[in-house]
């Protein structure tokens, strides 16, 4: 019997009835009756959606995504709404409730399945599991295990869904480098996502899956590898903040930018034939992207978002200063070059601690916007830029360690990695064409050549001090002010802006990229 309970030898009358319903047709062929059924399944993807409200252009937010989901389900009951990770953080309100509001909004929007992103662990593993357990939909992760190598039982690795005659298997894949990018602790480890996908895809197919989907919150090259090698049929990708679709005739891939500004959809048409006991399933994808700028927001979700925003207004809409120059916190800028915004934050950290230098990761600056010259800066602005709740710490490091830290910072500059350093108190040059680990030169501290044997007081954030974003060398430094004693980075920046009153462009160039 086929998965939908219809025998291939059913009567022609029954076949005709199902044809009227648009689910099956049959033709008489030499040697017997061939059953042919066509089913369309719609996969709707959102990823990296920590912002609850639309951006300044009116794109994104949970109310608009909820409307898109309702429309897609109305157009095709065989719709699966997927989240490919990063929802709990980093957002303004998450700094206060550690992502609880996002889960409520996600439940209202109506997801069917998700994979955990690295930002799910920004507030620790215990909080991640506490919040995600409140979701009305499952999180899947096939490449997380306990530190001792035993299976991690809080997430199922896979699930199966049936759509008429078609069985679709789903595999969840967490970010391989979550231990570097976030704070999951030492109790769990993240294994090779491609190897996990290969293993689970084989298992799903042995259980009857006709089509295997990987929900993968991983770097795009890894997701592209799974498509290229045919590890799975469809990769629904997160983590990279790109609008991406790909099909090579064998496997397909999709990613939807971030924050539901553009929502990606792939309609997969399945043609199922069965003749004399031999069953074949052919499929064809069709890609669409919905620009949510003109989408009418769902009223109930919009009302809930308004409630949450009202709780913030009183405390956050307080002026702290102005800026005489444009400030740029766009993702592509703070992860690839010196920016006035990055320098401002680093200057504040240096001033707050009395450090010789300050280094902070561009990936920790999250506003993703520009502030025109003449803008008034508020608490909300600062907390939007620094939503992780990181604290400013002070380390003692040798000059050699400082240089090693800078090498790590520019080691993935071509990938736009979040480890790119925004600095204060020092200058250096970068040869981006050189091999990673040998790109830094002409390092100066307060105008003098870096002494690799000397000790320097280095202000940074507690995430980097613990080795985050690949800054393992920082964990070797002597701790002078730890995260318990350190102040919130955002508070240090607010105090600094109040003191200077008006942000101006710093003198000279701190980072020269060749």
Distance between CA atoms of 409 and 402, rounded to whole angstroms? 11
Which whole number is the average pLDDT over 17-26? Answer: 33
Is the separation of the CB atoms in 402 and 455 below 8 Å? no
Is the pLDDT confidence value at 22 over 70?
A: no
Q: What is the pLDDT of residue 115?
A: 98
When comparing pLDDT for 174 and 92, which is higher? 174
What's the whole-model pTM score? 0.78
Task: Give which of 50, 44, 97, 122 is closest to 331, Cα–Cα.
Answer: 50
The string of pLDDT tens digits covering residues 464-496 is: 999 999 999 999 999 999 887 888 899 999 999
Is the separation of the CB atoms in 84 and 116 below 8 Å? no
Is the pLDDT confidence value at 18 over 60?
A: no
Distance between CA atoms of 316 and 391, rounded to whole angstroms? 19
Domains with residue ranges and CATH for the chain: 12-303 (3.60.21.10), 318-513 (3.90.780.10)
Helix (H) or strand (E) holding 452: none
Angle at 53 between CA 51 and CA 54, to 5 degrees: 105
Q: What is the pLDDT of residue 208?
A: 97
Sign (positive/negative) of CA torsion 475, 477, 478, 483? Answer: negative
Q: Residue 56 corresponds to which tokens in the numbers above?
A: 């300044």
The string of pLDDT tens digits covering residues 255-314 is: 999 999 999 999 999 999 998 889 999 999 999 999 999 999 999 999 999 999 998 888
- Give, as one character, the DSSP assignment of residue 413: G
Is the pLDDT confidence value at 153 over 60?
A: yes
Is the pLDDT confidence value at 32 over 60?
A: no
Q: What is the pLDDT of residue 313?
A: 83
Q: What is the pLDDT of residue 11?
A: 25
Is the pLDDT confidence value at 12 over 70?
A: no
How confident is residue 34, by pLDDT bands cut at 50, 70 and 90? low
Q: Please provide the average confidence, as pLDDT, over all residues in the chain.
A: 92
Q: What is the pLDDT of residue 314?
A: 81
Distance between CA atoms of 501 and 323, rounded to whole angstroms? 8
Chain centre distance of CA 462:
21
Q: What percent of the chain has pLDDT over 70?
A: 93
Q: What is the pLDDT of residue 458?
A: 98
- CB contact burial 74-105 (16+ within 10 A = b; e otherwise): eeeebbbbbbbbbbbbbbbbbbbbbbbbbbbb
The string of pLDDT tens digits covering residues 401-434 is: 999 999 999 999 999 999 999 999 999 999 999 9
Is the pLDDT confidence value at 38 over 60?
A: yes
The string of pLDDT tens digits covering residues 357-408 is: 999 999 999 999 999 999 999 999 999 999 998 999 999 999 999 999 999 9
Which whole number is the average pLDDT over 85-96? Answer: 88
Is the pLDDT confidence value at 6 over 70?
A: no
Is the pLDDT confidence value at 222 over 50?
A: yes
121 Cβ partners below 8 Å, 6+ apart? 128, 178, 182, 183, 184
514 Cβ partners below 8 Å, 6+ apart? 429, 430, 431, 432, 433
Which whole number is the average pLDDT over 3-24? Answer: 29
Q: What percent of the chain has pLDDT over 90?
A: 85
């Amino acid at each position: 019997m086929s998965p939908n309970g219809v025998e291939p030898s059913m009567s022609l009358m029954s076949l005709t009835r199902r044809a009227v319903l648009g689910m099956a047709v049959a033709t008489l062929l030499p040697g017997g009756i061939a059953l042919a059924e066509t089913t369309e399944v719609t996969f709707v993807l959102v990823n990296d959606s920590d912002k609850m409200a639309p951006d300044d252009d009116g794109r994104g937010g949970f109310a608009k995504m909820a409307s898109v989901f309702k429309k897609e389900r109305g157009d095709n009951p065989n719709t699966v709404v997927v989240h490919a990770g990063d929802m709990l953080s980093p957002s303004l309100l998450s700094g206060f409730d550690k992502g609880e509001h996002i889960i409520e909004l996600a439940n209202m929007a109506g997801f069917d399945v998700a994979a955990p992103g690295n930002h799910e662990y920004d507030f620790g593993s215990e909080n991640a599991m506490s919040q995600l357990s409140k979701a009305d939909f499952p999180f899947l992760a096939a490449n997380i295990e306990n530190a001792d190598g035993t299976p991690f039982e809080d997430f199922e690795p896979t699930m199966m869904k049936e759509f008429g005659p078609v069985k679709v298997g789903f595999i969840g894949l967490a970010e391989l480098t979550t231990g570097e990018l976030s704070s999951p602790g030492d109790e769990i480890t993240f294994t090779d996502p491609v190897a996990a996908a290969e293993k689970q895809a084989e298992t799903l197919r042995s259980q009857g899956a006709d089509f295997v989907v990987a929900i993968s919150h991983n770097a795009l090259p890894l997701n592209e590898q799974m498509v290229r090698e045919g590890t799975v049929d469809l990769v629904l990708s997160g983590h990279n903040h790109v609008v991406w679709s790909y099909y090579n005739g064998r496997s397909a891939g999709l990613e939807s930018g971030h924050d539901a500004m553009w929502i990606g959809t792939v309609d997969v048409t399945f043609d199922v034939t069965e003749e004399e006991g031999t069953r074949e399933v052919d499929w064809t994808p069709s890609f669409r992207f919905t620009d949510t700028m003109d989408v009418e927001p769902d009223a109930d979700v919009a009302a809930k978002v308004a409630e949450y925003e009202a709780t913030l207004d009183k405390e956050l809409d307080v002026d702290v200063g102005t800026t005489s120059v444009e400030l740029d916190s766009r993702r592509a800028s703070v992860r690839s070059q010196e920016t006035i915004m990055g320098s401002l934050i680093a200057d504040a950290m240096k001033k707050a601690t009395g450090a010789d230098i300050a280094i902070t990761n561009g990936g920790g600056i999250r506003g993703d916007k520009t502030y025109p010259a003449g803008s008034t800066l508020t608490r909300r602005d600062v907390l939007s830029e620094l939503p992780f709740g990181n604290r400013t710490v002070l380390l003692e490091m040798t000059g050699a360690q400082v240089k090693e830290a800078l090498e790590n910072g520019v080691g993935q500059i071509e990938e736009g990695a979040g480890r790119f350093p925004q600095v204060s108190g020092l200058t250096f040059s970068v040869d981006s064409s050189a091999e990673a680990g040998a790109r830094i030169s002409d390092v100066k501290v307060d105008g003098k050549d870096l002494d690799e044997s000397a000790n320097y007081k280095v202000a940074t954030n507690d995430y980097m001090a613990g080795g985050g974003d690949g800054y393992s060398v920082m964990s070797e430094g002597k701790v002078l002010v730890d995260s318990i004693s350190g102040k919130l980075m955002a508070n240090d920046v607010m105090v600094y802006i109040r003191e200077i009153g008006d942000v101006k462009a710093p003198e000279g160039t701190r980072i020269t990229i060749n």
